[in-house]
């Protein structure tokens, strides 16, 4: 079994689709947007779709392609990442012979999944993808990804003199735990589906526990 086919099995029952799309799914070396991230987002999406409905095939394609264009967190083009990924998704699916309506649905989901893009999702599949991706940004995995990205960007873990930014402006480019307040704790209020909101509340509690334990240790 090749590496691609082994990964594709994680997207059951859409292994064939995953085999076709995985070679296009990555364009960088960001370990917070890698195969493990795609698998986690697919598990989240499948869990939500099982309760909320929606087209599972379109959703699988959107999950597989939502990060197909890599733009670093500190790039001035960050807000354009989902638009670029949506355009690339359209080209890929068109090359595979998908119908225009289906391609449009997948591209819309990819376009609107991003927090940075700030474009409201209009379809159920787009809402599920946004929720599934944001679930991976909170909870234990979200904390791990936050610290990983901080290291990748050359940021510190926290301000040693004022870790909670009580007497300074929050600066998540300089300190990892500032990102909890500037973004991660804000995500739970923006979930699109009832299932997503329920799961988000559980994960936000875990994320707050991570911060509390870190503060206790420092």
- Per-residue confidence at 33, pLDDT binned at 50, 70, 90? confident
Can you count the helices (H) and strands (E) in the chain? 11, 0
151-197: pLDDT as tens digits: 988 999 999 999 999 999 999 999 999 999 999 999 988 999 999 99
Q: How far apart are CA 29 and CA 26, in angstroms?
A: 8
Cis status, amide bond into 13, omega within 30 of 0 = yes
Q: How far apart are CA 105 and CA 123, in angstroms?
A: 8
pTM of the model: 0.91
CA distances to 112, 125, 142, 213 from 134, rounded to whole Å, are 12, 14, 9, 23
| pLDDT above 90 as % of the chain | 78
124-151: pLDDT as tens digits: 999 999 999 999 999 999 999 999 999 9
- 29-35-39 Cα angle (round to 5): 150
Q: Which residue is it, tokens 């300089």?
A: 174
Q: How far apart are CA 138 and CA 205, in angstroms?
A: 9
Asked whether the beta carbons of 107 and 88 are under 8 A apart, the reply is no
Q: How many CB atoms lie within 10 A of CB 206?
A: 14
Asked whether the beta carbons of 125 and 55 are under 8 A apart, the reply is yes
- Per-residue confidence at 95, pLDDT binned at 50, 70, 90? very high
Q: How far apart are CA 81 and CA 93, in angstroms?
A: 18
Which tokens is 81 given? 């990442």
């Amino acid at each position: 079994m090749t590496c691609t086919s082994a990964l594709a099995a994680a997207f059951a029952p859409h292994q064939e689709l995953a085999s076709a799309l995985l070679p296009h799914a990555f364009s960088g070396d960001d370990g917070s947007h890698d195969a493990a991230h795609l698998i986690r987002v697919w598990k989240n999406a499948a869990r939500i779709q099982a309760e909320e409905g929606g087209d599972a095939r379109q959703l699988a394609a959107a999950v597989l392609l939502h990060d197909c264009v890599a733009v670093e967190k500190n790039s001035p083009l960050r807000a354009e990442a989902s638009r670029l990924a949506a355009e690339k998704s359209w080209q890929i699916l068109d090359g595979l012979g998908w119908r225009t309506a289906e391609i449009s649905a997948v591209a819309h989901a990819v376009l609107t999944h991003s927090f940075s893009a700030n474009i409201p999702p209009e379809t159920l599949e787009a809402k599920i993808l946004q929720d599934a991706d944001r679930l991976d940004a909170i909870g234990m995995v979200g904390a791990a990804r936050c610290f990983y990205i901080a290291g990748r960007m050359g940021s510190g873990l926290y301000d040693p003199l004022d870790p909670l930014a009580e007497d300074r402006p929050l600066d998540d480019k300089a300190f990892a735990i500032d990102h909890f307040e500037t973004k991660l704790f804000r995500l739970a209020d923006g979930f699109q589906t009832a299932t997503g909101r329920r799961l988000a509340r559980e994960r936000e509690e875990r994320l707050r526990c991570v911060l509390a334990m870190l503060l206790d240790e420092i």
